[in-house]
Each structure stands twice: as structure tokens, then as C-alpha cells.
Amino acid sequence: MALVNENYLKLKGSYLFSEIAKRVGAFSSENPDKKIIRLGIGDVTQPLPDACIKAMHNAVDEMSNAKTFRGYGPERGYDFLIDKIIENDYLARGIQLDFDEVFISDGAKSDTGNIVDIFGGDNIVAVTDPVYPVYVDTNVMSGRSGTMGDDGKWSDILYLSCTKENNFVPKLPDKRVDMLYLCFPNNPTGTTITKEELKKWVDYAKENRTVILYDAAYEAYITEDNVAHSIYEIEGAKEVAIEFRSFSKNAGFTGTRCAFAVVPKQLHAYTQSGEKVQLNGLWNRRQSTKFNGVPYIIQRGAEAVYSDEGKAQIKETINYYMENAKIITAGLKEMGLSVFGGVNAPYIWLKTPDGYTSWSFFDKLLKDANVVGTPGEGFGPSGKGYFRLTAFGNRQNTIDAVSRLKSIKF
């Protein structure tokens, strides 16, 4: 008799964004004449930069010729892309990385989800709350969660609450934890912490031999100086942190898929008997066994992100989305709502009006304005009474969504 991984049975029926898609699908088939504006999932709407498209076309041509054809690529990624990443994302900020510390992948979602494979089952996990559901669900799947309580929290996971009361700056854990997920600029709240705050986390991790899993997928949206683009800007972070980055949100690769993880060689975890083990080697072993690399064509496209033309085009698109963020923020403020984020991130986090839960607000917006957002509660218990809108829509939809929201009576 084949047994199932019963941890999966503990999970809610569907992943947050699948649940939303299901509800929107049902509404849409009952109301086929309604034009729905989707500001729910953080998916981009602007096309890939022209520089990337050209590079991908060239790479397709190379594939058509036996002399330049490529089969399996290096599992870690092609040198041409890794070199560009190190030079532009790290050396330019004074951070030295070795070539074999960077691993190209098909997404930060996959990386932050798969990373649990290399950690022991008894590790204590901490997450900021609200949180990108992948961090929690993958720890449930791999048996680190315990049981779900009435408060919406897993018994073995430590939740570090981020609400307007603490300015969305999580407090350091009051006990030691082994794996700590941080995401800045934050998804879902769109807020950030300063470099000084981030240093406290690095110091905590050093003292407690904690590994920080640092998701920096939204770093391209940072506008303020005192916010780190990489955790390695903080002294000592290479000894305690893995960093996840992505081409999805800066260059529109949500559909084409390309990202990378940095696993420094100074970073270690331990065996039960206290022996130090380099995580870089374990991740390499995991990836080379379970993953066969990102397609050559896509990696050529990602390389073009770092060309002068690519950099200029990306900047333009990011400015476009951040202008949307301003439009949404201004509209919601005019409605008298409390609004957060949207300054260093493409997400706007709002407090739902009195009398509305996250999900009743979701239903109201869908029904009365035909606008889709994401209920804060879907990201964790501290998201109760909050709601997320993304700035990744196109301009006209964003303007229309705001004006529809303004016309609703709450």
C-alpha cells in the first residue's frame, strides 16, 4: 500500500492565489458581461524589454544551427549570466561573490520553496506575518509546522507580527529559531526596514546560528537610500544568509521564468552531532539532482537585462508601475483609508474599512467594483483586516480600478 505524505493533508484545500482565481472564475461565469480588473496576484502586465526580446531571438537562431546549438546547460547556470549578475548586482554595491555561489533557477518561488530540502526536519522556523504563503506551506509539506491552531497559526512555526502598530517592522524572536524567512521590500505589505534594522537580524542570526532565507525579489523597486538591495550589504551577512532574487518583477519574466539564489560558501548549518556543513555544497547537490537548468534562450534574455539598453528599458517599466502605485495610494487616501507600502515596492497594503474583514472586502470589491485584490488574511493571521492591491496592472486599468473603488459605498 502506497502511503501519502500526510503533511499535505494538513494544508488548506488550495494555494491562496488558486483560491482567488477560483472565486473570480465563478463570479465571471455568473456575470459574463462584467469587465473584471485584476489587481490581485502580483503578475506583471508590461511586455519584456526589447533588449531581452532581441537577445532571445538571437538565441533561438543559435539553436537552429548545429554549430551553435546547445543541449543541457550547466546546472548552475551559464557563465555569461552569472558573471553579469555578480558584476552588476553585487560588485557594483561593493559585495564580492565567487562564481560558484550563484545558482540560476526558474523562479524565486521555486527556490524559496525548494530550499527546505537541505534543512533538517527538526528546525524551528520563523516567518514574518503576514507572509508570502510559499514559505509556510513548504514547511508544512516537509513536516516542520505542527498543527493548525484556532488562531490560524501553525503550532511549531513562530510568527513575527507586522502591523501598522509596529510600523511593519518585526520584533526579533523572543526565542532562538533555526530558519528565518525575511522578505524586503516585503510581499505582501510593500513595506521595508532600514539597513540598521536589518543589521539587528544579521547579528541575531550570528548569535543564534540561525540561517536567514532572504527574499529580495522586489529590490529593483527600492527608492529610498537607507534600504538594502542585498542582505550582503550588511557586514557578516554572508555567514548567515541565503539570498533569493528574480527577473520576474524587475524585467517581466513571470512567464519566461528566470531567477537566482546566492548561497555563500561561508554559510554553514550543522549535523545533529554538531558538525559544520557548508550549505553551498548541499544546494548544489540538490539542484544538480532535481533541476536541469533554465533554458539557454531564457538565460540569454536575462543577460540582456544588464546591457545599457536593457537597464534603461527596465527602469522605464519600473517607473511605470511605481506611478501606478502612486495613483492607487492617492485614490485610497482620498477615500479616507489607511494605506501602506507602495514607496519601495509595487504593493499597496490597506486597512479595510470598519465592518469589513479581508474576505468580505474582497467580495465587496469583486461584486460592486469588479476589481480583484488579495485579502490580507490569506497571507497570515496578522493580515486580518488588511487588503493588498498590486501596481502591476496597466495604466488605464489602474485608473479605472481606483475610480470604481471611489464610487463604492462602504
Q: Please give the residue ranges that form the binding site for ligand MLT (CB under 6 A).
A: 41-43, 109, 132, 187
Nearest Cα residue to 41 out of 347, 344, 369: 347
Beta carbon of residue 365, minimum distance to ligand MLT (angstroms, whole number): 16
Give whichever of 109 and 257 is closer to ligand MLT, judged by the CB atom.
109
Q: Residues 262, 97: contact at Cβ < 8 Å?
A: yes
Give whichever of 307 and 394 is closer to ligand MLT, judged by the CB atom.
394
- Output the DSSP codes for 164-187: GGGTT-PPPPSS--SEEEEESS-T
Handedness of CA 400, 402, 403, 408 (dihedral sign): positive
d(CA 408, CA 364): 9
Give whichever of 105 and 187 is closer to ligand MLT, judged by the CB atom.
187
Beta carbon of residue 42, minimum distance to ligand MLT (angstroms, whole number): 3
Give whichever of 132 and 349 is closer to ligand MLT, judged by the CB atom.
132
Beta carbon of residue 151, minimum distance to ligand MLT (angstroms, whole number): 23
Give whichever of 42 and 310 is closer to ligand MLT, judged by the CB atom.
42
Beta carbon of residue 242, minimum distance to ligand MLT (angstroms, whole number): 18
Distance set, CA 336 to CA 189, 351, 353 (Å): 19, 10, 9
Give whichever of 42 and 393 is closer to ligand MLT, judged by the CB atom.
42
d(CA 306, CA 82): 11
- Half-sphere exposure in the Cβ direction for 18 (13 Å, CA): 6
Beta carbon of residue 373, minimum distance to ligand MLT (angstroms, whole number): 10
Nearest Cα residue to 403 out of 334, 357, 354: 334
**Is beta strand 347-351 parallel, antiparallel or unpaired with respect to 386-390?**
antiparallel
Beta carbon of residue 65, minimum distance to ligand MLT (angstroms, whole number): 35
In 285-358, at which residue ranges do the beta strands (DSSP E only) sit? Answer: 339-341, 347-351
